[in-house]
């Protein structure tokens, strides 16, 4: 495993470090024969690694090495290694697989490769090799964050109010549109918008034309990726209440709070909002975004409690939750994309309800996506 103070500037260094980590983790009676940069027809692979079992059975891994990778790079790399395999006339072609190598493979890249049963290795010790013949499974975990990542680079996540507005806009508005047009739709600063779009594109969740115009957004996958960085619960810490007369009574009280300057803006999310589009199951708890949680609770006759709460209020001032709200029985509810993300990150049956709502959104995209 390479140390983070080792720069590993060249792909040759990365290959050496990753293959050293791989060979160290093979069973003691197995071996790896490595041929660097072999000529294969009109190609030259970075390496071919022959994995040889004690009885002599073997499989070939055709390595493709990059210093750094993002998700959108992976299909092209796999396609390149498949070209090596198809061009190779040696017997090893019959038991061959790609091998993707980088200095560091982030968890989303590992997940992408694992789903497709594609072997990988990085210089930090993240390794997964699965072979049927000869039967072999090697798995180890290295760094979960890039140890060579320097300061000043764009954030590798979708946290913060600007990211929320950008994701919501990308999901709610059908492309094509330019990044400046997205800035207007989301109401976000230029720098934040460009950085977020670059990150989302790197995750292969949107596509841009040669002139930079956003032409496609994989909105369901984008919401699922956002759920790794966003949580309603973190905004609702300490704001737990009891609706003494039940949740239907609460919705009726909220419906009477339009233009209430004291209570401020609010928007119901989660299970209480989904009947606006498709009912899943009777709601057990209410989740509400509010500019003024205490004032809203007083107006809605909610009782602060530490145990037995059935209402959570997130302290939300000028957040994406108030973008493109709708109404349900006179009460203000969030848009479907916001309800989906809040359900995906909710405890209990919340994720199941979230996926059910995403299924509805896929079937009725023209009904909610502008």
Q: Please say if the pLDDT value at position 87 is more than 80.
A: yes
Q: What is the pLDDT of residue 6?
A: 58
Name the DSSP class of 291.
S
Cα–Cα distance measured from residue 223 to residue 193, given in angstroms and rounded to the nearest whole number: 17
Characterize 18-48 residue by residue with b for buried, 16 or more Cβ atoms within 10 angstroms of its Cβ, and e for exposed. bbebbeeebeeebebeeeeeeebeeeebbbb
Q: In the predicted model, what is the mean pLDDT of residues 317-336?
A: 91
Query: What is residue 290's predicted lDDT score, i.e. its pLDDT?
Result: 93
Q: What is the 3-state secondary structure (H, E, C) of 35-94?
A: EECCEECCEECCEEEEEECCCCCEEEEEEEEECCCCHHHHHHHHHHHHHHHHHCCCHHHH
List Cβ neighbours of 367 (8 Å cut-off, separation of 6 or more).
277
Provide the token pair at 300: 């809605």
345-369 tens-digit pLDDT: 998 889 999 999 999 999 999 999 9
- Taking the C-alpha atoms of residue 355 and residue 341, their distance in angstroms, rounded to an integer, is 10
At residue 150, the pLDDT reads 57
Quote the pTM value: 0.68
What is the per-residue pLDDT across 15-62, written as a single tens digit (0 to 9) for each? 999 989 899 999 999 999 999 988 888 888 899 999 999 988 999 999
Q: Where are the alpha helices (DSSP H) in 269-370?
A: 293-299, 336-344, 350-363, 365-368
Q: Give me the pLDDT at residue 151, please.
A: 52
Q: Is the pLDDT of residue 153 over 50?
A: no
The pLDDT assigned to 152 comes to 45
* Beta pairing, strands 47-52 & 331-333: unpaired
> Which of 86-95, 101-110, 174-183 is most confident?
174-183
Measured between alpha carbons, how far is 120 from 127 in angstroms, rounded to an integer? 6
Nearest to 200 by CA among 168, 174, 232, 231: 168
Confidence of residue 3 (pLDDT cuts 50, 70, 90): low
Nearest to residue 84, comparing CAs of 64, 108, 54? 64
Examine the pLDDT at 279 and tell me if it is beyond 80. Answer: no
Predicted pLDDT at 7: 58
According to DSSP, residue 97 is labeled E
151 Cβ contact partners less than 8 Å away, ≥ 6 residues apart? none
Q: pLDDT grade, residue 155 (50/70/90)?
A: low
254: helix, coil or strand? helix
Which DSSP category does 268 fall into? E
- Predicted confidence at residue 89, as pLDDT, reads 78
**What mean pLDDT is reported for the chain?**
89
Distance from chain centroid for Cα 108: 7
* pLDDT value for 144: 80
Report pLDDT digits (tens) over 103-152: 999 888 898 999 999 999 999 999 999 998 899 999 999 988 888 765 54
Tell me: the pLDDT tens digits for 60-85? 999 999 988 888 889 999 999 999 98
Give the pLDDT confidence score for residue 157 in this predicted structure.
81
Report percent pLDDT > 70 for the chain.
Answer: 94
- Delineate the domains of the chain, giving CATH numbers in brackets: 11-140 (3.40.1350), 161-226 (1.10.10.10), 232-368 (3.30.460)
């Amino acid at each position: 495993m390479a140390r983070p103070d080792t720069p590993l500037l060249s792909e040759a260094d990365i290959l050496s470090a990753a293959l050293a980590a791989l060979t160290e983790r093979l069973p003691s009676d197995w071996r790896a024969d490595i041929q660097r940069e072999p000529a294969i027809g009109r190609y030259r692979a970075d390496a071919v690694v022959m994995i040889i079992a004690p009885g002599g059975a073997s499989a070939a891994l055709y390595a493709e090495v990059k210093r750094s990778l993002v998700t959108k790079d992976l299909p092209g790399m796999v396609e390149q290694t498949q070209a090596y395999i198809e061009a190779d006339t040696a017997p090893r072609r019959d038991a061959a697989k790609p091998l993707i190598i980088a200095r560091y493979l982030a968890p989303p890249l590992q997940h992408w490769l694992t789903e497709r049963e594609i072997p990988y290795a990085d210089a930090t010790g993240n390794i997964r090799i699965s072979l049927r013949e000869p039967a072999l499974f090697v798995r180890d975990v290295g760094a979960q964050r890039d140890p060579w990542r320097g300061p000043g680079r764009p954030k590798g996540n979708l946290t913060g109010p600007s990211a929320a507005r950008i994701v919501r806009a990308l999901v709610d508005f059908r492309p094509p549109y330019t990044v400046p047009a997205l800035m207007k739709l989301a109401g976000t600063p230029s720098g934040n918008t460009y950085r977020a779009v670059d990150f989302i594109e790197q995750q292969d969740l949107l596509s841009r034309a040669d002139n930079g115009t956003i032409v496609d957004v994989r909105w369901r996958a984008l919401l699922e990726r956002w759920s790794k960085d966003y949580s309603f619960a973190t905004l609702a810490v300490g704001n737990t209440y009891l609706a003494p007369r039940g949740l239907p009574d609460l919705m009726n009280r909220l419906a009477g709070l339009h233009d209430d300057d004291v209570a401020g803006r609010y928007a119901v999310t989660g299970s209480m909002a989904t009947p606006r589009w498709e009912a899943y199951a009777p709601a057990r708890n209410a989740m509400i975004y509010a500019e003024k949680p205490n004032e809203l609770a007083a107006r809605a006759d909610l009782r602060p409690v530490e145990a037995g709460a059935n209402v959570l209020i997130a302290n939300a001032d000028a957040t994406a939750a108030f973008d493109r709200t709708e109404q349900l029985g006179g009460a203000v509810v969030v848009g479907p994309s916001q309800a989906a993300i809040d359900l995906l990150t909710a405890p209990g049956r919340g994720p199941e309800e979230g996926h059910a709502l995403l299924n509805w959104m896929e079937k009725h995209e023209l009904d909610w996506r502008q």
